[in-house]
Amino acid sequence: MAVLIPSSPGPGAVNPAYLDWGGVLRSPLGGADQKLNRLGDRFAIDVTMNTMASDDEAAAWVAALIKGKKEGAIFPWPQTIDVDGTGDGAVDGAGQAGTTLNIRGVTTGRKFKAGQMVSVVHGGRRYLHMLMAAGTASSAGKIALSIEPMMRVSYADGAVVEIDTPKIEGFTDGNSQGWSVDVARNVGLQFRITEAE
């Protein structure tokens, strides 16, 4: 089971990335370029932590990162925009596919912004998505969200949609300095999490 990376201290710097497994088909004879989209696009994030305040705190971080290499890691995705409202939602209907995610159970009139992140918990794993368009929840607390990347699995009806604190889940990679208590106390740990699916 994936380990939740500690939330304190907060990161000093983050560099998100969108991993696109498609490609552009270029004609060798000067024809129009075509974009080939493939299922499997996902996110990654490079994190540089602030230095740790104590050996105990540093050791807990090192342990979590090492466990994250073997079992997977969960890390809160830093929202870069203010998010309206509070509370999570739920997937509204099984069998959804593509780039429109229907959700329910949100506050009436809650506003969603282009560039906002949400994560869906399905089958014990989180899947991260970015909203491509703004929208407002209906009086029934429902909304159809335009998302990227497209859904990689068909989410179960009622699966939790984390809105307030979306999270990335995947495996950790560290830096060449290693994940030692000394590095954590004096330099700041560096790691990357790439979504596993």
Give the whole-angstrom CA distance, residue 175 versus residue 54.
21
Give the whole-angstrom CA distance, residue 40 versus residue 57.
36
Assign residue 114 the CATH number of its domain. Answer: 2.40.30
Looking at the fold, whether 98 and 52 belong to one and the same domain comes out as: no
Number of domains in the chain: 2
DSSP per-residue string spanning 86-108: ---EEE-SSS--TTEEEEE-PPT
Q: Report the 10 Å Cβ neighbour count for 161.
A: 24
Looking at the fold, whether 17 and 63 belong to one and the same domain comes out as: yes
Looking at the fold, whether 159 and 188 belong to one and the same domain comes out as: no
How would you classify residue 114: left for phi > 0, otherwise alpha for psi between -120 and 50, otherwise beta?
Answer: beta
Residue 120 lies in a domain: yes
Looking at the fold, whether 133 and 71 belong to one and the same domain comes out as: no
- Tell me which residue of 88, 89, 73, 79 sits closest to 125, measured CA to CA: 73
pLDDT digits (tens, 9 = 90+) for 26-67: 888 888 888 777 778 999 999 888 888 888 888 888 888 888
Kindly state the percentage of the chain with pLDDT values over 90.
Answer: 51
Assign residue 60 the CATH number of its domain. Answer: 3.30.200
- Tell me which residue of 192, 197, 193 sits closest to 39, measured CA to CA: 197
Residue 196: the pLDDT is 87
* Residue 47 domain boundaries: 3-22+32-77+168-195
pLDDT tens digit at each of 197 positions of the chain: 889 988 777 788 889 999 888 778 888 888 888 877 777 899 999 988 888 888 888 888 888 888 888 899 999 998 888 888 889 999 999 999 999 999 999 999 999 999 999 999 999 999 999 999 999 999 999 999 999 999 999 999 999 999 999 999 999 876 545 667 777 777 778 889 999 88
Looking at the fold, whether 70 and 108 belong to one and the same domain comes out as: no
Looking at the fold, whether 156 and 180 belong to one and the same domain comes out as: no
Residue 176: the pLDDT is 46
Looking at the fold, whether 100 and 73 belong to one and the same domain comes out as: no
What is the pTM for the complete model shown? 0.86
